[in-house]
Homo-oligomer: A and B are copies of this chain.
Amino acid sequence: MKISTKGRYGVAAMYDLAMHYGEGPISLKSIALRQKISENYLEQLMSTLRNAGYVKSIRGAQGGYSLSKEPEKISVGDIIRTMEGPIVLVDCLLTDAEDNDYCERAEICVTRGVWAKVCDSISSVLDSISLADLCQEEQLQGDVCDNGKNLF
């Protein structure tokens, strides 16, 4: 049960864009450099974020990426769902409970409730944190890294 680099890099890149919100297009190269991500790989991830409508891009020299909404309006949950797909710990949560074939395994009927509860809990945490929150956290901690202790 891990978050892949897609999700992590995606959040990192979006955080980077949020920190430069309003400064015009930010080149992928500079994001990759600051966040220490492979440039070519990040390119693919940005493409996903662009298709999902969270960033817009400008081509050509002096081009780059920028957020297509304010940092307040993009949550970490939005990004994770875009990069990693729906937040479901087990596939049976994707099917409707009324489907008569969703429950192949005898135990699922009982454990399904457990996984659903965990997923809800994950979603509500991720949805409650916006890019703006992350930027504010960065400002609070100043030069000293407090590892997110001040978050919220």
Contact = CB atoms under 8 A, between A and B. Distances in A.
B148 A113 contact: yes
Given A110-B138, A111-B12, A3 B126 contact: no
A148 B90 contact: no
A81 to B, nearest CB: 10
A115 B3 contact: yes
Interface string A120-152: 011011100100001001100100010111111
A122 B111 contact: no
A7 B105 CA distance: 14
A115 B147 CA distance: 11
B1 A89 contact: yes
B1 A114 contact: no
A107 interface: yes
Interface residues of A, number: 56
Contact of A148 (B112, B138, B141): B112
A106 B34 contact: yes
Given A15-B107, A118-B125, A87 B148 contact: no
Interface of A: 1-4, 7-8, 11-12, 15-16, 34-37, 76, 80, 84, 87-91, 97, 103-118, 121-122, 124-126, 129, 134, 137-138, 141, 145, 147-152
